[in-house]
Amino acid sequence: MSGPARPQMTEVEIAALHQGRGEGLALAAVALGIAAFINLLGAEKGVLAVVLGVFARRHARSNPGRRRSGIAITLGVVQLGTIVAVLVLFRDKLGQLLELLKTLS
């Protein structure tokens, strides 16, 4: 004996489901892009924001979803660029910090 029959989804319902997924991914990507700046040297969050933003952009069918995914991609790229700039500009200070940390251990 099988379970209860599930009603078939209409094309409009399927399109709404895909649109909701795309917009949800875009919103999650924006949140991750913002969270990437909380711990500045955490490059994995910036990379994940870019990847999730690209994935959301591919699946977003509405203008707000595409705009949010673009914001997420921009935030991720800016965060990664900031990391590179900090590492390049303060490489001598970073070397000094690493030496000091070695003396502590």
What pLDDT, in 10s, does the model give residues 7-27? 788 888 887 777 787 788 888
User: What is the span of the domain harbouring residue 26?
Assistant: 11-80
Instruction: Give the HSE-up count for residue 10: Cα atoms under 13 Å, Cβ half-sphere.
Output: 3
Question: Would you say 26 and 69 are in contact if contact means Cβ atoms under 8 Å apart?
Answer: yes
105 occurs within a structural domain? no
Question: Would you say 1 and 25 are in contact if contact means Cβ atoms under 8 Å apart?
Answer: no
Average pLDDT over residues 34-60: 81
How many structural domains are present in the chain? Answer: 1
103 occurs within a structural domain? no
In this predicted structure, the answer to whether residue 50 has a pLDDT above a threshold of 80 is yes
24 occurs within a structural domain? yes
51 occurs within a structural domain? yes
1 occurs within a structural domain? no
43 occurs within a structural domain? yes
In this predicted structure, the answer to whether residue 91 has a pLDDT above a threshold of 80 is yes
95 occurs within a structural domain? no
- Dist. CA 6–CA 17, nearest whole Å: 16
Give percent above pLDDT 90 in the chain: 16
Across 32-41, 63-72, 92-101, least confident range: 32-41
Question: Would you say 29 and 68 are in contact if contact means Cβ atoms under 8 Å apart?
Answer: yes
